[in-house]
Amino acid sequence: MTILVAGGTGLVGSAIVRELERVNKKVIGISSKDVDLLDRANTFSYINNLKPEVIIDAAAKVGGIGGNNLYPVEFLTQNIQIQSNLMDAAHSVKVKKFVFLSSSCIYPRDCPQPIKEEYVMTGKLEETNSAYAIAKLAGMELIKSYRKEYGYNWISVMPTNIYGPNDNFDLETSHVFPAMIRKFSDAEENNSKSVTLWGSGNPLREFLHTDDLAKAIICCLEQYDSDEQINIGTGVDISIKDLAHKISAAVNFTGSVNWDASRHDGTPQKVLDIKKITKLGWKPTITLDQGIASTVEWYQKNK
């Protein structure tokens, strides 16, 4: 059985490929260098030639609050094109199982916490990333539609904020976790006395190591079959301010931290209810402190 991982060189996709190889599965990880998923004809040609039995879609245009807020057209249109081209191509060769990676930003901005799967589309989205959220909602709806019309065992999984090796550490386009590692590492290396971070530091976020996510996705691949998305997270949140303290300590930065309150905070709190996936037998194993230490080490070796 051939498993195709789209986005196979990115943060999440590379972890999925590593885990599938570890459990001796036949896996092919692809990136835009192999096939441009924005090109519908090339996507169909590639999938028709390969004819995989399983596709895991970890390919997407992603970014932090800044990128999402500045380029909503690109985040909306490109993600819709990527996922619909891949799903339609999968349908053309009757792929048995398709796993679509959505995003926890699809939940309402002011959602009750922890966030249950049934809370989707029950309130207004966070405006700073609403375009990306709409694209992911469209992908989830397409999964449900293919299940309904063709009886496929296709699913949507809902990861929380992910971090780990192979992340994007570019300060213009990265998420908060890698951006902090980059800023504090640069400050320590340059003997800077202070670091300025976005927002107030008060929002609460949940962070899951990409290796734990990879194991969860394989668990869902083997055991989950429903048209409702399934949350994947830790069930535990931390303030952005406390996260900054942990990361600054991990890189031995001893200067001060300033907060630029003119920058967007985003959603006030976001932590997922993970009862459904833990009932399948999965649970996270990498603590936040362990994950910070290993990710800092990876960044400093690979920067």
Q: What pLDDT, on a 0 to 100 scale, did the predictor assign at position 112?
A: 97
pLDDT at 169: 94
Q: Which of these, 102, 46, 128, lies nearest to 228 by C-alpha position? A: 102
**Beta-strand runs (E) in 168-289:** 194-198, 204-205, 207-209, 230-232, 238-239, 256-260, 269-270
Q: What is the pLDDT of residue 224?
A: 98
**pTM for the predicted model, two decimal places:** 0.95
248-255 long-range Cβ contacts below 8 angstroms, 24+ apart: 248/180, 248/184, 248/195, 250/184, 250/292, 250/293, 250/296, 251/181, 251/184, 251/185, 251/188, 251/296, 251/300, 252/188, 253/184, 253/185, 253/187, 253/188, 253/195, 255/187, 255/192, 255/193, 255/194, 255/195
Rounded CA-CA distance 140/142 in Å is 5
> Catalytic annotation on 132?
yes
Q: How many CA atoms lie within 13 A of 229 on its CB side?
A: 31
User: Which residue in 46, 132, 163, 224 is the catalytic one?
Assistant: 132
16-20 mean pLDDT: 98
pLDDT (tens digit per residue) in 251-296: 999 999 999 999 888 889 999 999 999 999 999 999 999 999 999 9
**Which comes out higher in pLDDT, residue 68 or 80?**
80
Question: What CATH number does the domain located at 2-165+206-235+272-286 have?
Answer: 3.40.50.720
* pLDDT reported for residue 263: 87
Tell me the percentage of the chain whose pLDDT exceeds 70.
Answer: 99
Query: Other CB atoms closer than 10 Å to residue 130's CB: what's the count?
Result: 20
Given a cut of 90, whether residue 80 has pLDDT beyond it is yes
More confident residue, 265 or 33: 33
pLDDT given for residue 67 in this prediction? 72
Q: What residue ranges do the domains of the chain occupy? A: 2-165+206-235+272-286
Structure-block tokens of residue 153 = 């065992």
